[in-house]
Every structure is written in structure tokens, then in C-alpha cells.
Amino acid sequence: MENLGRIGFSEEQADLLEVAESFCRERSPVERVRALIRDSLGHDPAVWQEMAELGWLGIAIPEAYGGVGLGLAEVVPVVEQMGRRLMAGPFVSTTLAGQALLAGGTEAQKAAWLPRLAEGMPATLALMEADGNWDLEAVTATAEGGATLSLSGQKLFVENAATAGLVIASVFHDGAPALVLIETEALPDGALRRETVIDETRRSFELTLDGISVPSSQLLDTGKARAALSHIHLAANLLATAEMTGCTQACIDYTIDYLNTRKQFGKLIGSYQALKHPSVDAYVTYEQARSHLYSAAHSFTEQGTGEVATRMAKTAADKALSFAADRAIQFHGGFGFTYDCDAHLYRRRAIWHASQHGDAAWHKRKLAQMLL
Amino acid sequence: MSEVNEKELAEFAAEADAWFAENVDPDPGFMLPLTFMEVGTDQQFDFLRQWQNKVWEAGYLGAAWPREYGGGGLPEAFQRAATKAMRKHNGPIMLNAIGLNWTGPLLLDIGSEAHKAKYLKGILSAEDIWCQGFSEPEHGSDLGNAQTRAVREGEEYVVNGSKIWTTQGNYAKYMILLARTDPDAPRKYDGLSFFLAPMQIPGVETHPIRKLTGEYGFTQTFFTDARIPADGLIGAEGEGWKVAMRTLEYERGARGGQPGGYVITERDAFDVLDLARRMMRGGEPLMEDPVMQDRLMDFIIEIQANRLCQERQKVAPLTSDRPMGLALSSKLMSTELVRRLNEFAVTLTGPRAGYYVGDENAVDEGIWARGYLNAFSATIGGGTSQIQHNIIGEHVLGLPKS
Ligand SMILES: Cc1cc2nc3c(=O)[nH]c(=O)nc-3n(C[C@H](O)[C@H](O)[C@H](O)COP(=O)(O)OP(=O)(O)OC[C@H]3O[C@@H](n4cnc5c(N)ncnc54)[C@H](O)[C@@H]3O)c2cc1C
């Protein structure tokens, strides 16, 4: 158990952290977040355009395909800052779709799609199914046929599907899990149903595959499917961890601010240790989670270590955000029980993330198999 | 300090490795203390004193302190290599903790030439054992309210009062002493002064206190018209609080200058994993139990988090939001973790958790229960965990004072 990951921080990461900090702060004040919750699209296309112009959508895409040629380690600070401002939009799903293509696509598919993703075409993944299994290889949706594949089955939690130009879905094909590209133009009416999800800043859809057919050239390289799924799983967890960590910081700052302004019994409530000490626990747990995040980012591409560090990081982030957000509601008193208080935004997001791509118990189980 | 010569450093590290491999005695025939706060018998004391002396003579303690004060005059990297070798071969702790990690760095920083010449070498060689006289029976967490009096008379101060929980007080030749020189100062802190005080003089008496483990390790120290030399004053009269707070920073590693080695060893996750593999439940090793695996992973993840936090402290852009946050949190994080890890380990031993050190049926000679009880030394000593919460809440999060 020598190498569980370590901290490293590149100049590119530092630059992106700095730029993303101010960008997300300015573009996503909480009033804007709340306005976008009410908006059906759910994100601001103008901001999305700006991100594309900043090159953020191509950070982890090689230069040969029109990207910047860095890796997910450099995406992490950007997503962390988005999480901190509860910023909505298809950034993460598009980045993950790019990762799916890189890990599992044919040369022709990469050449055709990656440059478009880097330019700002939103994309997403359709992986989850109704049985609630986080094991991405346990797929029941199918793709059958020869030159033309008929798809069937249901996919849940397909984020940003209504905005995406491309969906990459996992299906069972020829006796094994596979990935298939679906252009959203080709989706029949009624294929998408908007889901009501706990984190209202998100746009998530159920996708019915029945009745959709695609040419077999849309299958990703079947020989790489398992490796691609495992890469997607870890990449999704890494970026979720980044979002959660940023979100935890914001949640703590928000609560501390209240503890420093609200008075009861003639004193600022932050002077009461019943509030101060758990706030410190939340803070310390946050710092631990952030250390794990930047270890996972740095170690991500190392065989074995990357997986260990990422699973640990997701587990630590879950603990930190869940606790901070739970206490945030309580420490705001009656106001904490209202829709107007931001505490529920954090708590809802915490539940969303805990439930996606493996919860803490599940990751610990995987870690135990690897380490114990 | 000279440039690090990589070749010389590698040679030094290899020599240190060989030296500790050769010189660490895996079984001295009696239980050694895990921390400097657990030195309870003369046998332990003599052994550890000789051990520290030997390490120093070999050049593996104080390697980076100036040569004229008994150090090796080498760059820090050399001492780090020596400490690493010490740890690798499970070398016993350095005994003279207060001298090494509090007094020494303080004197190197702000001591007079005479102080350095008089005290530093004896600290490294373990010839002169040091203790710390801060806490009092009535003032522990509220240290700023300490009332032990020191009254100037000519070239001496006359000290009256009592200190308590004085680790190694019965062995110490010197004490770093916080005493009240001005009871009328408007702020309680401004009436305090900081002294290097001799212990083996008339009017100073130490009474051993028995710890919760049944062993010894600290004393109550009584001062009755004890006359200490005025030249032991560090900083000006009335600046004692400032100096005392500075020593706490050395102790917590927030300031450099320590001579290396370590004064605390801990059982780590590996030891607990090993225990979980050996303990059986229903015919199966405990380690196979998914609930236990889940809890073990929690500990491993937390241990790793603390290690990563140490690394991250050095990355400025990743600490800029609350620059002192990690440094001020590390004591709380690490000591509470050790306490909970030991507590958990005790439960792994099942019914045999009912045994204690001394019974032949106790698992691993009872170290887990003893380790758990001793772990409170760090969650209480050096500022309790509750006080750490206050410090972090107020100084890092900016919350109002309680
Ligand atoms: C093994 C060991 C070795 C030690 N060695 C030394 C030594 O060498 N030299 C030395 O000077 N001292 C030493 N100490 C003393 C140590 O620093 C004190 O015990 C510690 O500072 C607590 O003081 P106290 O014992 O008076 O407890 P108290 O201050 O009376 O605390 C009692 C309880 O109240 C809590 N509490 C107190 N104030 C507050 C507050 N404001 N907010 C919230 N909770 C609070 C504490 O956390 C604790 O739980 C040692 C202690 C131990 C256990």
C-alpha cells in the first residue's frame, strides 16, 4: 500500500485555477443560479460560448483533434470552481463524452467528433439504467443487427440530453458491453423525458432507445469498450469530486458568513461553540477532501494509483459535502428551512453527487478489494 | 548553509540507513514508550537517554544545527535523510523532546550567544533533560491566566507557585517556565515572562503523578522561594506570552529549527490491518468482514488525507483561500485520528479487549488498550482538541471569540 497518490500541481493547473475562479464567480452569482433553475434550458448559452472561446472544452482533447492537449488534471480546477459557484451547464458531460471517444472511439470517430466538442458542441453520456447498478458493464439496453443497429432499452440520468448534439450510450451488443454514438437529431419524438431531479440546477433526462437505429459505424471500437467504460467511470468520479469540493468550500463560506452576522441572546451565533466546533469539523473535512482531489487529479493517469486515489477522493468529498451541507441547513435556523436560503442548494447537490457514479460505501468496497 | 551536494547526501543517507539497521535493538527486553510523554521508569529513561546520545554522536541528530553548538553544520536535507532512516528501522524515540523541539529552536532563533553556548549541546546529547512549566492546577487551557509568581531580587528571580502535568519533570535539569512578573498588568498576558529555569535547586520539588495507564510520566512541580538566575529571562519582562506562543509553533512544526528525529511514534494503518487479519470472528479473519473493511477504508482514507494535507501545505496556490488553515488544523487532524484508530483497534480484539498489559492472554501484550489510553496525551496536551477547534474557528474561519 505504498502509493495511494500524491499531490502535484502544474503551472497549467495553477493558471486555470486562477482564471476559473474569477470567471465562475463573475458569471455565476447565486441570483443567476436561481434564475437558471427556473429556466427550461438551465444554462446560459452566452457563458457556454465564452467557455468554448477560452478553450476549456478542449482542455483534455489532444491538439491533433483541435484541443489544448492537456489532461483531466487540468480540467479539475475549472470544474472545482464551477462547483463552487453552482454553475450549471453541459461542461462536465461534454468533457466526459470526449473522454469516451478518446478511450474507446475509432480514429474516424475521434476525427469527426472531437474537434466539434472542443469548439463547443454539447454532448453527453447515457450509462445508467433502472436497476441502480453503478457497474457500467452491467448493461441491459441492447443494440442488435448488422449494418444497421436497432437499439432498445431505457437510460436514466442522461444529463443535458436536450442540448447535446451527441449522446454516447452503453448497450449490450454481440455478447458484450459496447458504446454507441447517437446524434440527437435522429432521436424520435418522445425519446427524451425530462426527469425531476433533486439538484435543480441540473437538466437530466430519461432516454428511451426503443425505435432508434444507427449505422454500425456508430459503434465505438468494441475491442476497447470495457477499458473505455472503466475510464469513463473514473473520469466521471474525478470530475464529480471536483464539483463537490468546490461546492463544499462555498457551503462552508456561506454558513460562516451567517454565523458572523446573525445575533441571538445579544451575541453573534458564531461565538457559540455548538456551532463553531462542528463548523471547524466541516472545514477540516473539506481540507482533507481537497487534498484528496488534487492527489487524484495528479495521479489520475497512473495505472492502479489513479483508480485508488480517485475512489478515495470521491469518498472523502461525499463525507465533506454531505456534512457541511447538512449542518448548513441546521445552522441557519428557520431561514435554513426556506427555499430562499442557499443551504438546500448545497444539500441537494450533495445527495445528487453521492448517488451518481458510486456512493461512498460502494467505492470503499472497491478499494477494499484492491487494497486489503 | 552550504549547497546540497547530491552525491554526499546520498552517501550520508546510505550510511545512516546502515547505521540504524545495525544499531536499533528490536527487543530491549522491556516495553519502550511510544512517546516522550510516556517515560515512566528509570529503565526506560536510561535506555532512551543513551539511545539519543548515541544517535547524536553518530551524527544523526542535530545534523543541521551549527557545529559550534554540537550540531553537524550540514544542510537540512541531511537531517531529513537521517530521520527517514531512523523511522524506516523503527528506531526508538528521541527522549529530550522539550529541549529538542521547543527550547533548542527558540534559542537558535532569539537566544543570546551565552544561552546557545550553555544549553544547546546538552540538549542534543541528552545530558541535560528539559521540561515545560506552562500549565498550572487552576490554569490549563486558560494558560494566559497562569499565576506562578516570579519576583526580581537583584540578579535573581524568586519563584513561588506550582506547575502541573510537567512531562519528565522528575528527570529534568531545566524547565522553560512561564511565570507572572507583573500581577497588575492591565491584560493578563502582559504580566507573564518566560524563563530558562534550573530544576535541581533548593525550593523546587517534583511529585510524580500516576497516569490513567497506571504508569508514570509527568509530575506536579512546586516552587517555594526558588531562586533562579535573572539571565534565564528570554525576551523582555512581560513578553512571556509571546515567547510561549512561539515555542508552541515550533512544537507544532509551524516554524522550523527542529534538530530532527521524532519524539512520538504511532501505530499506523498497517498495524491495524495486520491486527484485523489475525483476529477471528466466527472462524473467519475479521478482515473478511465487509463491515470491518468499510471501517478500515475510512481510516486509510483519512490517514492518506492527512498525509496529503502536509504535502499540499507546500503548494501556495492550493492554500491561498485560508493560508494558515492547514498548518493550524494539523494537530487536531492527526491527534484525533490516532485516538480513534486505537479505539477501533481495541474493538477488533473482541473479548480479549477485556485484558490489559501484563496478562499473558492480552492481544499484542495489551498495546492497543494502552495505546488508546495514551492517545489522549496528544488530544489533551499541547492545547486540547476543543481549544484547537476554537483556534481554527477564530483564526482560520474568522468566527467571533466564544
Ligand atoms: C500527557 C500530558 C502531558 C502534558 N505535558 C505538559 C507539560 O510538559 N508541560 C505543561 O505545561 N503542560 C503539560 N500538559 C498539560 C496540558 O497542556 C493541559 O492539560 C491542557 O492544556 C488542558 O488544561 P487542563 O488540564 O487544565 O484542562 P482544562 O483547561 O481544565 O480543560 C478541561 C476540559 O474543558 C475544555 N475546555 C477548557 N476551556 C475551554 C474552552 N475555552 N472552550 C471549550 N472547551 C474548553 C477542555 O478542552 C477540556 O476538555 C500535559 C498534559 C498531558 C495530558
In a domain, A272, yes or no: yes
In a domain, A98, yes or no: no
Q: Which chain B residues touch A7 with a CB distance below 8 Å? A: 308, 311-312, 315, 318
In a shared domain, residues B144 and B59: no
Distance of CA A98 to the CA centre of its chain: 13
End-to-end CA distance of chain A: 9
Write down the pLDDT at residue B270: 86
- Residue minimizing CA distance to atom 51 of ligand 1: B381
In a shared domain, residues B84 and B42: yes
Query: Domain of B222?
Result: 131-251
A292 closest CA partner among A320, A272, A270: A320
Distance B291 CA to ligand 1 centre (A): 35
In a shared domain, residues B273 and B365: yes
In a shared domain, residues B231 and B278: no
ipTM beyond 0.90? yes
> Among residues of chain B, what percentage have pLDDT more than 70?
99
In a domain, A159, yes or no: yes
In a shared domain, residues A75 and A176: no
| CATH (domain of A362) | 1.20.140.10
Across the interface, of A9, A281, A288, the residue whose CB is closest to B309 is A288
In a shared domain, residues A113 and A191: no
User: Which of A198, A225, A252 represents a domain boundary (last residue)?
Assistant: A225
Would you call B106 helix, strand, or coil by DSSP? Answer: helix
In a shared domain, residues A28 and A59: yes
In a shared domain, residues A267 and A215: no
B 325-344 near A (Cβ less than 8 A) = 325-326, 329, 332-333
DSSP code of A187? P
In a domain, A33, yes or no: yes
Q: What CA–CA distance (Å, rounded) separates B308 from B311?
A: 5
Encode burial over B212-232: b for 16+ CB neighbours within 10 A, e otherwise.
ebebbbbbbbbbeebbbeeeb
Q: What is the mean pLDDT of each run of 10 residues along chain A (372 residues)?
A: 89 98 98 98 97 98 98 98 97 98 98 98 98 94 96 98 98 97 95 98 98 97 98 98 98 98 98 98 98 98 97 98 98 98 98 97 97 94
Question: pLDDT tens across B67-118, in order?
Answer: 999 999 999 999 999 999 999 999 999 999 999 999 999 999 999 999 999 9
| CATH (domain of B65) | 1.10.540.10
A28 closest CA partner among A89, A108, A101, A71: A89
In a domain, B341, yes or no: yes
Q: Which chain A residues touch B329 with a CB distance below 8 Å? A: 283-284, 287
Cα separations in angstroms, B385 against A155, B186, B336, B390: 49, 29, 8, 9
Q: Is B132 in the pocket of ligand 1 (CB under 6 A)?
A: yes
Across the interface, of B293, B308, B398, the residue whose CB is closest to A260 is B398
Write down the pLDDT at residue A1: 63
- Residue minimizing CA distance to atom 7 of ligand 1: B166
B191's grid cell: 504580566
- Average pLDDT for B213-238: 96
Q: Is B300 on the interface with A (CB under 8 A)?
A: yes
User: Which of A209, A225, A241 represents a domain boundary (last residue)?
Assistant: A225
Encode burial over A39-48: b for 16+ CB neighbours within 10 A, e otherwise.
eeebbbeebb
Query: Domain of A66?
Result: 2-92+103-121
A106's grid cell: 475509432
In a domain, B261, yes or no: no
- Which of B70-74, B138-142, B252-256 has the least mean pLDDT? B252-256
| CATH (domain of A134) | 2.40.110.10
In a shared domain, residues B390 and B275: yes
Would you call B213 helix, strand, or coil by DSSP? Answer: coil
User: Which of B251, B282, B316 represents a domain boundary (last residue)?
Assistant: B251
Q: Is A288–B306 a contact, with Cβ atoms under 8 angstroms apart?
A: yes
| CATH (domain of A68) | 1.10.540.10
Write down the pLDDT at residue B236: 96
Write down the pLDDT at residue B2: 53
Q: Which chain B residues touch A249 with a CB distance below 8 Å? A: 321
Q: How confident is the model at residue B1 (pLDDT cuts 50, 70, 90)?
A: very low
Write down the pLDDT at residue B221: 98
In a domain, B80, yes or no: yes
In a shared domain, residues A240 and A364: yes
Q: How confident is the model at residue B250 (pLDDT cuts 50, 70, 90)?
A: confident
In a domain, A259, yes or no: yes
A372 closest CA partner among B290, B155, B33: B290
Question: pLDDT tens across B317-340, in order?
Answer: 999 999 999 999 999 999 999 999
B312 closest CA partner among B295, B293, B333: B333
In a shared domain, residues A57 and A82: yes
B127's grid cell: 545530558
Distance B254 CA to ligand 1 centre (A): 20
Q: Is A289–B305 a contact, with Cβ atoms under 8 angstroms apart?
A: yes
Residues in CB range of B158: below 8 A, 6 or more apart: B150, B151, B225, B226, B227
User: Which of B87, B111, B126 represents a domain boundary (last residue)?
Assistant: B126
User: Which of A184, A203, A225 represents a domain boundary (last residue)?
Assistant: A225
In a shared domain, residues B286 and B391: yes
Q: What CA–CA distance (Å, rounded) separates B150 from B160?
A: 7
Task: Give the angle subtended at the CA of A126 by the CAs of A124 and A128, to the nearest 5°.
Answer: 135
End-to-end CA distance of chain B: 45
Across the interface, of A270, A281, A295, the residue whose CB is closest to B308 is A295
Structural domain count of chain B: 3
In a domain, A97, yes or no: no
- Average pLDDT for B140-147: 96
In a shared domain, residues A357 and A248: yes
Structural domain count of chain A: 3
| CATH (domain of B154) | 2.40.110.10
| CATH (domain of B331) | 1.20.140.10
**How is A45-113 classified by DSSP, letter by letter?**
HHHHHHHHHHTGGGTTS-GGGTS----HHHHHHHHHHHHHTT--SSHHHHHHHHHHHHHH--HHHHHHH
Q: What is the 3-state secondary structure (H, E, C) of A201-237?
A: CCCEEEEECCCEEEEHHHECCHHHHHHHHHHHHHHHH
User: Which of B84, B108, B126 represents a domain boundary (last residue)?
Assistant: B126
In a domain, B84, yes or no: yes
CB-based contact A252:A279 (threshold 8 Å): yes
HSE of A58, CA atoms in CB hemisphere, 13 A: 24
In a shared domain, residues A16 and A152: no
Q: What CA–CA distance (Å, rounded) separates A355 from A367?
A: 18
Q: How confident is the model at residue B354 (pLDDT cuts 50, 70, 90)?
A: very high
